[in-house]
Chains A and B, each alone.
Chain A
Amino acid sequence: MKIISQISQQLTGIVTISLSLSLCLCLCLTSLSLSAATELRIGLSGEVTSLDPHHLASQPNLTVARHVFESLVDVDTQNRLIPGLALSWRAIDPHTWEFKLRKGVAFHDGSPFTAQDAEFSLQRPLQLKSPSGGFAAYVRAIASIRIIDTHTLQIKTKSPYGALPEDLNSILIVSKKHAVNANTDDFDSGRAMVGTGPYQFVRYQRGDRLELSRFLGWWGNPPAHDKVTLRIVPSDPSRTAGLLAAELDMIEHVPSADIKKLSKNNQLKVIQATSWRTILLHLDQYRSPSPYITDLNGSLLSKNPLQDKRVRQALSLAINRLAITERIMEGLGMPAINFVSPPSFGYQTILKPETFDPSAAKQLLTEAGYPNGFQLTLSGPNNRYINDDQILQAVAQFWTRVGVRTTVEALPMSTLLNKVRKEETTITLLGWGSFAADLSIRSLIATTNSEKGYGAWNWGRYSNSKVDQLMTTALSTIDRTKREALAREASILAIQDVAIIPLHHQVVSWGMRSGLSYTPRTDEFTLAQHVSIR
């Protein structure tokens, strides 16, 4: 099975190359006709596993659900919070948030949206008998919910918690009347697909498409298209071909090899934005000796060199980030020195991305007592992020050049995660997307603590009590300006200590007919309601 999935990965690679070649031949001959102006056909890249908005927290599932359902707190294209079904929210005391709900909002069946529906939706993730896939994570801070009137909701948190509005963005509001006894099958069949969103459910064919039609009673500005078909096309070349053949009007995640060719076609265009996904390296800092770091002869080093800050700095300095973003990523990346990407909450601008300096790296290695370097393995996925396996190869070459002989271990994500859980990796590549730097720090580098739920993805088990303290203070701060300052401070401290090595922020791209326009979103969502006709 592993082999099959590896082959399929390789196939995709080869397919991309051959397609690019064939595109050269065919592009000049392509004739594209603009489809009927009011129908929009979008090619999505991810597999949708269920329409139930509270079942599995995956980007493809949420993409589809966000056409039909809305959340209390919305997010704009710059990854910043804006009013959704809640018009405003404020903390009335450190433990209590009050949400004023939008009035005059109707569900697709005509019934009005009230605080009852909001309360029900916030409780549903915890009540689902099936594995919730982790939407519970977004409501775990909630201690109790009180309905003040039909359009006011008070939420008490277990402890002062400033990130509640961020968390509530991920919980979509369903109709209590239709969802109260509904299971995932009821959503997939459309029976429970009653939301307040701009589009309403028409038909769903699993693994193929979801058809939607404009909801005339929507409270917002009516979207440009009457009819939307979300086609599920995970194969990269097929998505490009669909756009070229005028069967799709818009596609997400344009394969990097096809971007140039699509941009040259004057009937199509490609738009891009820095995504919230940051690609970074976790470094084993908790074991000494580290079981897979050896000297050049292959015998185990008695001390873990990665516990020495100078070695971590050297490894970061030895990487030519510009070469990675410009040559390997073909512009689909931006050098990083942050836990979140530029427009997001808590992005710091004091530290600048490390400039490539191999001689300084060598110097630091010598100072740390490794003038001849050592050997280690760099692990990472080969099917998860844009060009992930090539990034691994490049980093390994940069490190080998300064004397740290690096072997690459590129694995399918499922296999990699297994190795990480068994603690069989030394340095591991991971991609992370988040609304806020303090939330990222909580998951990525906070001292691992099962009870508090800190450091769930801290693969290098970095631990720094000052960073922990700043992060917890930030998260419990209700004042957003103060909270952001604390989050920045925590980021700077952790980056200076080389808790992780940030590589780059991914750039996300969409391809579409030139007659359409879409503001590229940092959170990578493809939402038909925001696609307009020029």
Chain B
Amino acid sequence: MLRSPILIRISHSIITLFAMSIAVFLGVYALGNPVDLLINPQANQIERAQMITQLGIDQSLWVQYQRFLSAALHGNWGTSFVSNTSAWSLIIERLPATVELALCAMCIAIIIGLPLGLIAGLHPSRWYSRLIMNGSILGFSLPTFWVGLMLIMMFSVWLGWLPSSGRGTTTNTLGIPLSITTIDGLMHLILPAINLALFKLSLLVRLTQSSTTLAMLEDYVRYARAKGLTERTIIFKHVLPNIAPPIITIIGLELGGLIAFAIVTESVFSWPGMGKLLIESINMLDRPVIVAYLMMIVSLFIAINLIVDTVLIMINPRLRKQAPSLQSSLA
């Protein structure tokens, strides 16, 4: 049973989670004492001492960690100091906005990035390929916040086509507030999604281009050509499946990154997502929210890795036989 790669993987995940909880807790503890930031400046030392006791930060680090861990195992991630609401529900409340934004950005990156990379890889010496590749360098090197502001200046201030910030009207779809279902929501979504997609798009272009260029030089492509297959069949039946695994791995990992760290875009566009929540929480030293957020992100990455591995195995039959070794190499 334990031989099963998925089970091994899950047990690794639990150890990782546990180790991360210690690291995160230590890190947040080192950030400092939130009391002075939260307390009313007119408060006296007695009220300050009361607040410290109420927040439970008068205890030793070890006691605080034990309390946190036992509460977390019971599904309680603590109460936000500043909002007086469960940290978990604060995060969950912001989750749909961020996931929606990240998924849209990823879709834009894939729909535009993959074909462009393929074109550039198939015809490396054409002028449009050079244009694509040079453009992708721009996408890499321009800072996200600057591009975001330029988008706002261009489309909101100057042209007045799209709203500059906020999330627009949302409707409840299967109980989840989504903005993609309304015109107003879509309009609000376009600019931040493009802004967030730009970097990933460039990454996908470059990755697809280099994989394609290499693949086109492989023997199997030459044999396929000799066999008289059309270029179309070669690309879609042979080249694409061969270059897919690394691209899917990257897309998976980058999606995690998009969800976890869309902080800059969310700040520039005042998008009420989790990234904005994290920055606020750091600024106010709202420890329970920071810890709960980071733990959720760790779990998210672990889950994404698991999904990516499974998808890879499904896509490429050759991997099925050597699955265990693949698992360990990706761990």
Contact = CB atoms under 8 A, between A and B. Distances in A.
Contacts of B284: 47, 49, 414
B164 interface: yes
Interface residues of B, number: 64
Given A19-B149, A207-B280, A453-B47, A137 B42 contact: yes
B46 A450 contact: yes
B157 A456 contact: no
Nearest to B163: A247
Interface string B40-75: 111111111011001100000000000000000000
Nearest to B39: A134
A136 B270 contact: no
B152 A450 contact: no
Nearest to A433: B41
Contacts of B38: 56, 131, 133-134
Contacts, number: 206
Interface stretch (A24-32, A106-114, A220-228, A396-404): A24-32
B37 A135 contact: no
B42 A138 contact: yes
B323 interface: no
A456 B83 CA distance: 25
Interface string A26-55: 100111000000000000000101101001
Nearest to A25: B153
Given A133-B38, A137-B40, A453-B45, A417 B283 contact: no
A445 to B, nearest CB: 14
Contacts of B156: 241, 245, 247
Given A1-B27, A1-B290, A231-B166, A134 B81 contact: no
Residue from A184, A241, A443 with most neighbouring chain B CB atoms (10 Å)? A241
Contacts of A130: 54, 79, 84
Contacts of B42: 57, 134, 137-138, 167, 439, 443
Contact of A205 (B36, B51, B81, B272): B272
Contacts of B101: none
Nearest to A233: B270
Given A131-B55, A456-B45, A418 B32 contact: yes
Interface of A: 1-2, 4-5, 8, 11, 14-15, 18-19, 22-23, 25-26, 29-31, 47, 49-50, 52, 55-57, 130-138, 140, 167, 183-185, 188, 205-209, 231-235, 237-238, 241-242, 244-247, 383, 412-415, 417-418, 420-421, 432, 439, 443, 450-454, 456-457
Interface of B: 27-28, 31-34, 36-48, 50-51, 54-55, 79-85, 90, 93-94, 145-146, 149-150, 152-153, 156-158, 160, 163-167, 263-264, 267-270, 272, 276-277, 279-280, 282-285, 290
